[in-house]
């Protein structure tokens, strides 16, 4: 019994078995429909095109060399297996892969916050918000977005005066122990 094309009543010249997601399907196509779908190559190029197509498929299927840190040579596979990066530059090399992991581990924060007493958390949050708003205010002024800058200035004013400044000028939360408890003068 001669098979006919799945798309028309012409006799099938291409018989292909396709397995996708574990489901086996048979495809039967005439020459015209087989060429439209890429199963047959025009005869003028014949073998060269077939070999080229096979090489493209082999390249696509070939496993790629694992990405490695340029500084220490650690691969992402090694980081996954050990849970350790090889050097500080690994964080940059594997930023795309590590960011979601770090965010989950730090409850949504990508920036390292360090350790601090629970009662200081509100001060740290307030300081971080002031720093972010101040940065956005500088950017808004630089971009001449004065209405936005005014809103940011007002929000900064609502938060009150900075609690303390770090050497780099960024606002930081005061030491929760306080200078007074250590015998120092109040600031």
Q: What is the pLDDT of residue 48?
A: 53
Res. 18: pLDDT tops 80:
no
Comparing C-alpha atoms, which of 170, 158, 160 is closest to residue 128?
A: 170
Domain range list for the chain: 1-44, 67-112, 118-176
pLDDT band at 139 (very low <50, low <70, confident <90, very high): very high
Looking at domain 1-44, which of 1.10.10, 3.30.410, 1.10.540, 3.30.60 is its CATH number?
3.30.60
Q: What is the pLDDT of residue 54?
A: 61
Mean pLDDT confidence for 15-28: 81
What residues contact 16, with CB distance under 8 A and at least 6 apart? Answer: 26, 27, 28, 29, 39
Q: What is the pLDDT of residue 116?
A: 60
pTM of the model: 0.30
Q: What is the pLDDT of residue 138?
A: 93
pLDDT per position as a tens digit, 38-87: 765 555 555 555 556 666 666 666 566 678 898 899 998 888 888 888 89
Comparing C-alpha atoms, which of 95, 97, 89, 96 is closest to residue 70?
A: 89
pLDDT band at 181 (very low <50, low <70, confident <90, very high): very low
Beta strand 14-20 with 23-29 is: antiparallel
Three-state DSSP state, 28: strand
């Amino acid at each position: 019994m001669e098979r006919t094309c799945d798309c028309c009543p012409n006799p099938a010249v291409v018989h292909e078995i396709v397995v996708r997601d574990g489901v086996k399907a048979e495809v039967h196509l005439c020459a015209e429909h087989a060429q439209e779908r890429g199963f047959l190559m025009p005869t003028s190029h014949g073998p060269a095109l077939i070999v080229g197509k096979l090489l493209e498929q082999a390249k696509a299927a070939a496993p790629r060399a694992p990405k490695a840190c340029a500084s220490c040579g650690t691969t992402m596979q090694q980081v996954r297996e050990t849970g350790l990066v090889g050097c500080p530059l690994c964080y940059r090399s594997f930023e795309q892969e590590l960011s979601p992991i770090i965010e989950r581990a730090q409850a949504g924060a990508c920036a390292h916050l360090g350790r601090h007493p629970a009662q200081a958390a509100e001060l740290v949050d307030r300081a971080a918000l002031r720093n972010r708003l101040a940065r956005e205010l500088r950017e808004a002024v630089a971009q001449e977005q004065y209405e936005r800058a005014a809103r940011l200035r007002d929000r900064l004013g609502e938060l009150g005066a900075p609690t303390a400044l770090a050497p780099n000028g960024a606002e930081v939360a005061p030491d929760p122990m306080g200078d007074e408890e250590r015998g120092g003068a109040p600031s």
